[in-house]
Structure formats: structure tokens, C-alpha cells
Amino acid sequence: MYMAEVGLAYRDEMLANLNLAQQAQAARQNPNQYLQLSAENYTSAVNAMDRTIKFVPWEYDNYVFLASIENIAGQVFDPKNYESAQSVAERGVAVEPFGPAIRVELARAFQGEKEIDKALEQASIAAKQDPAFSDAWLLVSNLYSQRGDKAQAIAVLKQFQKANPMDTSVSSSLSQLESSSTTAP
């Protein structure tokens, strides 16, 4: 647990520096110093998580953390990181086939690689494994929307709401989808 915290701290620093880069860019300032720091944080995070996984290869969460870091890097630095995220997530699924969080990270990696059907398969497995895992249901909905099937995207979120009436985490996404799928008078 303590070893993983080092990698997570670097991931948090990476995200903080990415946020600062975005703020600098919005203020029409040079974001490069923050992007450089973020890239260094990424490398440190990956190295720390790799060491942690070597130390406790059976701990499922560490694969989730590392795949998450690689997915962020795929989005921000280089789409090739999605391949790394996929590889890590597949190793994590081998360790814990019934872990919905690793399935979501695998789905995000496939989504980043534009393999929407594979992403949808993994996100759907995660949603079935944990009917209260809103991230999985939101991802399934998003993937249907990406495929152009807004009706199914809406149905997925309504199914989640019906099963989890106290959870309001999908309400804004559902409202957005419903308003974008209606035709103007």
C-alpha cells in the first residue's frame, strides 16, 4: 500500500501540472514548464507503479492505478500510451477477472485506440459486475453515444438510475443526452 502511494502521489502531481498548463494556456502564457514537469511526473509514476507491481504482482489495484496513468498519458502526451494501458489492464484482468475498475481502464484504453466495440464489451462487463459503479455505466453510455446510438446511451443511464435511485451522478449526463436527442420545434 505504501509503495503504491508513491506512484499515486506522482500521478497527482502529473494531474496538477497538467491543470496548471491548461490554466497557463487559457491565460495566454507558455504552458511548457508545466507540461515538462507533468511528463517527468508521469515517468516517476510509472516507475513507482512498476516497482510496486513487481513487489506485489497479485494486487489488483496497482494495475488499475498504472493503467489509469497510461490512459491519461495517452490522452495528453502520446496516443501510443493507450497500448501500454491496454497491456497493463489485460495483466490486471488476468489477476482479477471480476474487477470492474480494471475493466473500465481496459475499456478506456480501447476507446483511446478507437476500438469502440472492444471498449463497449469491457465497459459492459464492468457495469454488470458492479451495478452501482456509475463510472462504468457512464462509459457504456458514452460509447453508445460515440457509435451514434443515443437512444441506447439514454437507455443505459435510465437503467442505472432505476437500479440506483439515490445516486444522482448520471443525472447531468442523462439530461444532456436527452436534450441533444430531441428535435427542435
Residue bearing the bigger pLDDT, 166 or 119: 119
Mean pLDDT, the chain, whole residue set? 93
Instruction: Write down the pLDDT at residue 175.
Output: 82
Percent of the chain with pLDDT over 70: 97
Residue 18: alpha-carbon gap to chain centroid: 16
Give yes or no for residue 184 having a pLDDT over 80. Answer: no
What DSSP string runs through the chain? -HHHHHHHHHHHHHHHHHHHHHHHHHTT---HHHHHHHHHHHHHHHHHHHHHHHH-TT-HHHHHHHHHHHHHHHHHT-TTHHHHHHHHHHHHHHH-TT-HHHHHHHHHHHHHTT-HHHHHHHHHHHHHH-TT-HHHHHHHHHHHHHTT-HHHHHHHHHHHHHH-TT--TTHHHHHHHHHHHSPP-
Q: Give residue-wise pLDDT tens across range 19-62.
A: 999 999 999 999 999 999 999 999 999 999 999 999 999 999 99
Confidence of residue 182 (pLDDT cuts 50, 70, 90): low
Whether pLDDT at 112 is above 80: yes
Q: Is the pLDDT of residue 104 over 60?
A: yes
Tell me how far the alpha carbon of residue 112 is from its chain's centroid: 10
All residues at 6 or more sequence positions from 185 whose CB lies less than 8 Å from its CB, including other chains: none
Q: Which fold has domain 3-7+22-130?
A: 1.25.40
- pLDDT score of 1: 85
Neighbours of 75 (CB within 10 A): 16
Provide the pLDDT confidence category of residue 185 given band limits of 50, 70 and 90: very low
Q: What's this model's pTM, rounded to 2 decimal places?
A: 0.89
Rounded to whole angstroms, the Cα distance separating 123 from 160 reads: 14
Tell me the per-residue pLDDT of 131-168, one tens digit each, with 9 for 90 and over: 999 999 999 999 999 999 998 988 998 888 888 878 77
pLDDT tier at 179, thresholds 50, 70, 90: confident
Confidence (pLDDT) at 173: 80
